[in-house]
Chains A and B, each alone.
Chain A
Amino acid sequence: MAVELLSANHAAALAAALAGRANRGARGFCSGVYPITPSTECMELLCNQEIEKGSVVRVESEHSAMAVCIGAAAGGARTFTTSSSNGIALMAENAVAAALLRLPVVMAAANRTLGPPWNIWADHGDTLLLRDAGWIQLYCADNQEVLDSVLFAFRLAEDRRVLLPVMVCQEAFVLSHTMAQTDVPAQEAVDRFLPPLAHPGRLTSTPRVLGGIDVPHATEVHRAQHQEAMGRVLEVYREAQDEFEAVFGRRPADPVVAYRTEDAEALVVSMGTIASTVERAVDAARARGEKLGAVRVRALRPFPGAALARLFRGVRRIAVVDRNVSLGFGGVLWGEARGEAEPGAIVQGYMIGLGGGDVRPEHVLAIAADLAARRVAGDPVLLEAGA
C-alpha cells in the first residue's frame, strides 16, 4: 500500500485500473469513457493507465460509453465507466439496459446538478434519475471511501448471487476535485480481493439471445429475479466487508452509518458528504448537551430499510436532509426514510445544498433547532445554503 494525495476522481480511476488488471487471468477489462465535468479527470487518468489485457475506448457519447460496457460485459470482461449529470441522463437508456441484462458494470458517478441552466456543482439529482433502474447505488463521504467502494463494487456486482451493476456516487468538487490522503492498495492485494470474473450469462458460441423479446409473464419472472438479487445484496455486502478487511486491513462502511445515535433523542439523516458535515454539527450539539445523532445512508439501493428502522426505534424527531429535490414531492431520501420511523414520530424533510450550495455545520444546527421546535412534521422545506 502507498498513501497518495488523490482527488476522488483519481482514486476511482486507480481503483478501476487495479480491478481491471486483476481480471487479466480471465477475460480482461474494457471501459467506454466520455468526458464531462466533473468526472472528466477520472476517465483521463484511466486513459493513461497501463492495463494488461485491458482496453479503454474513447467513445462519442455517454450513451455509447455504457453501450461499450454492455458489449464488453456480454463478452465476459470486467467493465467500468464514469460520468456526471446530463451525461448520466443521456446514458440512462443503456444504464437501464445494463441492469436489466444483469451485467456487472461499475460506474463512478460524480454527482452534478442537472441542467439547464448549466451548473457544474454538486447535487444528487443525476444519479437519483436512475434510482429505480435496477442498479446498486452507494453514496460516498470521502476519497478513501470512493477508492474502496469502486473495488468493493466489483466484488458486489460480480458475485453470482448478485450480478447487478453498481454506481459509486461522489459529489462534484466536494470530493471529485478535492485532494486527500488516500491509501492505494498494491496490485497483489487487489488480485486477492477480486476473483476472476466468470459471468454465467456471457456470450459464447452458443446461439442464444441476450436481451430478447419478453412476453408479460416472462418479464414478471425477470423482474422477480432482479428483485431477489437485490434482496441478496446486503448479505453479500457483509461477506465482502469481511473479505475486504482481511485483505486491506480496513472495513468498508456499512450500508447505513450511525454516529452518536445510542442515546439520541433526535437524528439527522443524510447521504454523501453532507453526512460528514452533520457529524461535526452533532459534535457541536453534543458539546451543548443536546442529544443529537447522525445517520448516513450509504446504500440507497438496495434500500437498507431494516437498518434504518432499528436506528429510528424510540426516536421521536428525525430530520432528513436531501441534496436533491424530486420536484412536486420533496427530498428523495426523506420520501424513503420516513416510512421506517415509528408511528407518531416527527420526520421532517429539508432540502439544502442544491446546485452545489455549501452546506456548513451551522446549517445543520439550524435544521436541528427547527426540528426541535416542531410539534408536527410539515411540508418538506427547501433551504438556501447560499454561495
Chain B
Amino acid sequence: MSDSVLATLPGDRSPACEPLLRPGNSNCGGCGMSTAFQLLGRAVEGRPVQLVIPASCAAVAAGPFPFSALGAPAVLSTFGAAAAVATGLAQVARLNGEATRVVVWAGDGGTYDIGMASLSAAAERDEDVLYVCYDNEIYGNTGGQRSSATPAGAATTNTPRGKREQKKDILGILAAHRIPYAASVSLAHPQDALRKMRRALDARGFRFLHALAPCPTGWKSEPALGVELVRLAVRSGLYPVIEIVDGRKLVVNVEPEFSAEALELYLSLQRRFQRSGVEARDLRAAIERHWRELRSRSGRIVPAEREG
C-alpha cells in the first residue's frame, strides 16, 4: 500500500473529532441527526471526545466493521445502557486524570423509553457525562414506530391513525434531577446551539442536551426543509429553546412568536400529521399550558423581549 493511501487511514495522530460524521455514512438525505452531529463536531473543536451510541440510526451510520464514519472513538452500546456505559468510560477517564469528554449520542427511543432508567440513574449520580438526545420523535431505525417522544397527532407505523398521547417533557424530567446543565438546541439557531454545546462540553457533572431532529423518512417531509421545520416549531412555541441550570434557573433563549401561521405550516409540511386530522388549534392549548409552566419557572411573567 502506498504512503498516500496509508495517510488516508485513521491513525493515532489523526484529528480525533473533526468532523464527527465523516463522508460515507449511511444516513438519509435531509437527516436532522446528521446536521446536529456536525454541529456538535464544530463545538468539539479538537477537545478529546469518546462517544457512546446506543442502538439507533446513529449507530448504523458508523457503517459496517471495520470501517467507521465516526470522527471520534465510539462504543456502540446496547439499546438501554448508553448512560451506564458512558459512566464506566467517564469514571476511568477521571481515575486517570484525563480530559476526555464522554458524550452519549442517543435517539429518542434510547432516551425517553428504553434508556430512561440508566439515564435517570446516571443523572442522579451526576456522572461526568454529556448526554445528547437527538429527537426525531420516532423509532427511525426500525422503520418508524411511535416512541414516548412522538407528538400527539403524528401517524407512525404502529399508530397509523395518529398517536393520541402527548410527548414526554424530557427537559422537565432531566431538570427534576437538578443536573448542572440541561438545554434544548435548535438546528435553526446554530449560534445558540453551538454556545450551549460548548458550555455543555466544558461543564462537569451530568449535562443533557435535547435536539429536535427532523426525519424526512419518518415525518414524510421534504428532505431540504428540515431546518425550516425546526424554525417553524420554534416560532410556533411547539419546541421551546431553553436552558436550565442546576434544575432551578430556567432561561428562554429564543422567544417564540406563537405564530398560528407557523404552526399550521409546520403541520401541513409533514404528512405524518395529515392522517390523524390534527389541526393547529388542537395543539394550541397544550402549547399555552407548557409555556405558562416555563414562564413560571423562569421567574418571568412576560416574555423578556417585551419588558424593555
Contact = CB atoms under 8 A, between A and B. Distances in A.
Interface of A, helix, strand, loop or mixed by DSSP: mixed
Contact of A212 (B11, B64, B86): B64
Contacts of A54: 95
B11 A206 contact: yes
Contact of A208 (B73, B87, B94): B73
Contacts of A30: 88, 91-92, 95
Contacts of A209: 62, 65, 68, 70, 73-76
A238 to B, nearest CB: 32
A93 B78 contact: yes
B74 A72 contact: no
A73 B118 CA distance: 18
B92 A28 contact: yes
A257 interface: no
A67 B89 contact: no
A74 B89 CA distance: 7
A133 to B, nearest CB: 13
A207 interface: yes
Contacts of A70: 75, 77, 81, 85, 88
B30 interface: no
Contacts of B117: 60-61, 64
A241 B106 CA distance: 44
A94 interface: yes
Nearest to B85: A71
Interface residue range, chain B: 35 or more
Contact of A28 (B60, B75, B96, B125): B96
13 contacts: A32-B88, A67-B78, A67-B84, A67-B118, A68-B88, A71-B89, A77-B91, A203-B50, A204-B12, A206-B73, A207-B72, A209-B68, A215-B65
A75 B89 contact: yes
Interface residue range, chain A: 35 or more
Nearest to A55: B91
Interface string A16-54: 000000000001101010000000000000000000011
Most A CB contacts (10 A, CB to CB) among B59, B73, B75, B77 go to B75
B71 interface: yes
B244 interface: no
Nearest to B20: A207
B10 interface: yes
A156 to B, nearest CB: 21
B52 interface: yes
B92 to A, nearest CB: 3
Nearest to B26: A213
Interface of B: 10-12, 14, 16, 48, 50, 52, 59-60, 62-68, 70-78, 80-81, 83-96, 117-118, 120-121, 125
Given A59-B121, A67-B85, A71-B88, A215 B95 contact: no
Given A67-B118, A94-B81, A213-B60, 10 more contacts: A61-B118, A69-B88, A71-B90, A74-B85, A75-B50, A205-B48, A207-B68, A207-B74, A208-B73, A209-B70
Contacts of B62: 209, 212-213
Contact of A27 (B76, B77, B96, B120): B96
Contacts of B89: 71-72, 74-75, 203
Contacts of A71: 52, 75, 77, 84-92
Contact of B68 (A59, A65, A208): A208
A72 B92 contact: yes
Contacts of B11: 206
A67 B88 contact: yes
Contacts of A73: 88
Contacts of B60: 213
A354 B105 CA distance: 44
A204 B73 contact: yes
A60 B121 contact: yes
A69 B75 CA distance: 13
B98 to A, nearest CB: 9
A282 to B, nearest CB: 45
Given A57-B125, A204-B12, A211-B77, A63 B92 contact: no
Given A71-B75, A94-B78, A94-B81, A53 B95 contact: yes
Contacts of B125: 57-58
A214 interface: yes
